[in-house]
């Protein structure tokens, strides 16, 4: 079976005392999202990632959001990262690199990815808080860190301009989807590394 014909998908199940996450990802999908979690905001963000990446994502997640949504967001990031790592296998033939700049009204974000096998998160987005002192930017960072660590990718996000937290997060997830779409694309038969191995 050639790499182009291999079905790149994964199923991840994670249960802790804080969360329960059941996730299926099809890398070469059509951007269909079937997402159920107690936070409408994060359902929206993951749907954007699915649509712009062209990934099929089925997710059922529950968590202790009576505390806050930190644990749930982080664990979804962990599972999504593990799903991509598993689905991509030895990463043979992938483009490896992906990058984009996304405008969202007043916001402008750059997302760059190297599926290098070495996790690192560069997060140049300042924390913006609402009137109650809460910020989804902090949870955005936790999600991206968990995703980067468990997918074993080098991920950089940089905010050039932006004031509205929703717009900043939306641009980040659209950008993540587009950058990942390019990075996982099959371009040939070889490992995209002079070492002959991605790790």
Structure tokens that stand for 37 in this block: 């979690």
Q: Which residues pair with 111 in a beta bridge?
A: 100, 157
pLDDT at 2 over 60: no
pLDDT at 134 over 90: no
Report how far residue 109's alpha carbon sits from residue 164's, in angstroms, rounded to the nearest whole number: 13
Q: Is residue 197 part of a domain?
A: no
Report how far residue 71's alpha carbon sits from residue 111's, in angstroms, rounded to the nearest whole number: 24
Do the strands 107-114 and 9-15 form a parallel or antiparallel pair, or are they unpaired? unpaired
- Check residue 100 and give its pLDDT: 97
- Check residue 70 and give its pLDDT: 85
pLDDT mean over 98-113: 97
Q: Is residue 1 part of a domain?
A: no
| Total domains, the chain | 1
- Check residue 64 and give its pLDDT: 86
Q: Residue 158 belongs to what domain range? A: 9-183
Q: Is residue 107 part of a domain?
A: yes
Q: Is residue 195 part of a domain?
A: no
DSSP helix/strand/coil, 193: coil
pLDDT at 17 over 70: yes
Q: Is residue 198 part of a domain?
A: no
pLDDT tens figures, 80-90: 999 999 999 98
Q: Which long-range contacts (CB under 8 A, 24 or more apart) does 40-48 make?
A: 41/136, 41/166, 41/169, 42/69, 42/72, 42/73, 42/76, 44/170, 45/169, 45/170, 45/173, 46/76, 46/173, 48/170, 48/173, 48/174, 48/177
* Average pLDDT of the chain, as a whole number: 90
CA 154 remoteness from chain centre: 12
Q: Is residue 122 part of a domain?
A: yes
Per-residue CA distances from 130 to 86, 141, 166 (Å)? 37, 16, 11
Q: Is residue 154 part of a domain?
A: yes
Q: Is residue 3 part of a domain?
A: no
Q: What is the CATH number of the domain that holds 141?
A: 3.30.230.40
């Amino acid at each position: 079976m050639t790499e182009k014909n291999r079905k790149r998908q994964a199923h991840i199940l994670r249960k802790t005392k804080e969360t329960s996450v059941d996730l299926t990802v099809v890398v070469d999908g059509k951007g269909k999202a079937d997402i159920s979690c107690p936070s409408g905001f994060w359902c929206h963000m993951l749907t954007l990632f699915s649509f712009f990446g062209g990934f099929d994502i089925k997710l059922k997640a529950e968590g202790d959001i009576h505390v806050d949504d930190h644990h749930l967001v982080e664990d979804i990031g962990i599972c999504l990262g593990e799903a991509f790592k598993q689905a991509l296998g030895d990463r043979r033939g992938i483009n490896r690199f992906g990058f984009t700049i996304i405008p969202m009204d007043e916001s402008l974000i750059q997302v760059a990815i190297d599926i290098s096998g070495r996790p690192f998160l560069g997060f140049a987005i300042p924390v913006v808080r609402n009137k109650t002192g809460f910020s989804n930017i902090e949870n955005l960072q936790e999600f991206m860190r968990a995703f980067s660590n468990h997918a074993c990718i080098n991920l950089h996000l940089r905010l050039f301009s932006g004031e509205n937290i929703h717009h900043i997060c939306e641009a980040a997830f659209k950008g993540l989807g587009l950058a990942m779409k390019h990075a996982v694309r099959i371009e040939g038969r070889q490992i995209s590394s002079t070492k002959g191995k991605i790790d």
